[in-house]
Chain A
Amino acid sequence: MTPGTLPILDVHDVTVAYQRKPVLWNIDLTLHQPRLVDIVGPNGAGKTTIIKAILGLVPLVSGSIHMFGKHLEDVRGRIGYVPQRESVDWDFPVSVLDVVLMGTYGRLGWFRRPGKPEIALAHECLAQVGLHDFADRQIGQLSGGQQQRTFLARTLAQQADLYFLDEPFAGVDAASERAIQALLQKLRDAGKTVLVVHHDLRTVPSYFDHVILLNVRLIASGPTAEVFTEENLHKTYGGRLTILDTLSQAVRDQERSP
């Protein structure tokens, strides 16, 4: 196999369980090209879990995962991660810049403190998410959207090739949503692959070019135009009628857009 054909992400036969209850069942998933990918599914479908499984944060019952043809341990430097915003304490006594600098810790290694190049990089990443004037703020003094953009700047400082974002659009204001969306497209255009957990089905077709439909089992994975269909959404969300109208609307919107 030549390096050019190695998949960016290869999830093979993965099963994950919490206390014997399977949350992911026999997932097979391969991404060959840099894409902006949405992971879609109802609550409890295992969207966060699949990210955590890929990143080694939850144990696999069975299966294997490779990124760029290698095991996680050998490619950590190429992987960026944005956890859910609620996963940390925003009262923590650090500045916005401090948090972004944590993205450089992996490259710095043990004991070395961030120096001038790291600080310059962190400022640059903050500028990219439009927070350059907020560097010295304590992180609790930001709005939800600004906090999310701080997390995004931290992962930009990781200078990764493959990004995992867990609900970056949850609870953010419209301006932040636009800023985050623009940045994700910039990353994709720069040849990076970005996997995003995102709930709002109405915006899926306009935001993402690849969709993974998940409900414990993998329902479908492919280009948005092919996979984001009413039939697949029915399979993913089952008989939850209340949201089916939204889904049909989303699919119609997609068909209308060029």
Chain B
Amino acid sequence: MIEYNTLIVLIGTSLLGLSAGVVGVFAVLRRRALIGDALGHATLPGLWIAFWLTGQRSLPILLTGALVSGVLGIWVIALLRKTTRLKEDVAIALVLSVFFGAGIVIQKMLQARHSSGASGLNDFLLGHAATINRDDVQLLVSLTLACLAVVAILFKELKMVAFDAAFAQVQGWPAGRLDFLLMLLIAAVILAGIPAVGVLLSASLLVIPPAAARFWTQRLAPMLALSGGMGMVAAFVGTFLSARFENLAAGPTIVVVAGAGFLVSFLFGPHGASDWMRPAPRLEEPAP
């Protein structure tokens, strides 16, 4: 039997998986997958500093701190790219590891000091579905529904900017601001994923379902539906298993389930492994 509290959490994380799958399609198409991962890792120091300053383990406070340091991490990546010769992969790897390292250092200091109050802080690393309460679920659900609504309303605009930002800009669309909005959606989904999936793996929900969905379709709308569906199923199954078995962290379980879906999609999707067997569609006519 599923307890009432578990059911609430299951609904919450399933919705989270759905909206991560949908937002993730744009993140993947706009090549923001690694940035999302860096953002997820960079939330950790802010999360602990928020806890240290307030002494409370309340989710809105912790997530606010997480947002601040996550955005700071993204900003540092942009700054490094702009002012130095470092390439993007170096900037991302650097921010991801340094911020995450700082987060762990602060966490260990806090855990040494408040041996009781800081117990369960490890849950935020890998996620722990059982410790989420009803208020938390409400917060997560409103965040994820807001993301879904934005994608539904701005479908055409996001599609154009993801495909060809310069063309959109020449037409007069605020490509930079739409891009920023997409980054906000990515950040919102990652933050909403922290309690259930953890900072380490939160961004994976943005990446695995869209990558798997692409193996089944050549169109954006079905890709969004499929990716959202896969994210939802992975989050549901992973959360369920984590709630059932005491020592099973939700994050890794969800990711393993999603990864299994990816493997199946790759093997059996019409645009996955079978693409290898087919010859290239056509050859270029050589120039005269």
Q: Which residues of A contact B (CB under 8 A)?
A: 52, 55-57, 73, 76-77, 79, 81, 83, 87-89, 92-95, 98-99, 102, 105-106, 108, 110-114, 138, 141, 143-145, 154, 158, 171, 173-175
A81 and B159 contact, Cβ closer than 8 Å, known pairs A92-B29, A93-B218, A174-B288: no
**Contact pick for B170, options A76, A87, A112, CB 8 Å:** A76
B residues near A88, Cβ cutoff 8 Å: 163-164
Q: Across the interface, do B172 and A174 meet the contact criterion of CB distance under 8 Å?
A: no
A73 and B29 contact, Cβ closer than 8 Å, known pairs A102-B164, A110-B157: no
Q: How many pairs, one residue from A and one from B, have CB atoms within 8 Å of each other in the complex?
A: 89
User: Considering the complex of A and B, which 6 residue pairs feature the smallest CB-CB distances, nearest first?
Assistant: A173-B285, A106-B171, A138-B218, A76-B172, A81-B170, A141-B281
Q: Across the interface, do A56 and B29 meet the contact criterion of CB distance under 8 Å?
A: no
16 contacts between A and B (CB under 8 A): A57-B169, A76-B172, A83-B167, A87-B166, A92-B163, A93-B29, A93-B214, A94-B159, A94-B219, A102-B167, A105-B173, A111-B153, A112-B156, A145-B285, A158-B171, A174-B288
Q: Across the interface, do A87 and B164 meet the contact criterion of CB distance under 8 Å?
A: yes
Q: Which residues of B contact A (CB under 8 A)?
A: 29, 153-157, 159-160, 162-164, 166-173, 214, 217-220, 223, 281-285, 287-288
A residues near B223, Cβ cutoff 8 Å: 93
* B15 to A: closest C-beta gap in Å: 24
A residues near B166, Cβ cutoff 8 Å: 52, 57, 81, 83, 87
B residues near A89, Cβ cutoff 8 Å: 29, 163
Q: Across the interface, do B281 and A73 meet the contact criterion of CB distance under 8 Å?
A: no
Q: Across the interface, do A83 and B288 meet the contact criterion of CB distance under 8 Å?
A: no
Most chain A CB within 10 A, of B159, B163, B170, is at: B170
B residues near A113, Cβ cutoff 8 Å: 155-156
* A201 to B: closest C-beta gap in Å: 15
**Contact pick for B156, options A73, A77, A105, CB 8 Å:** A105
Complex: how many Å from CA A56 to CA B156? 23
B residues near A73, Cβ cutoff 8 Å: 172
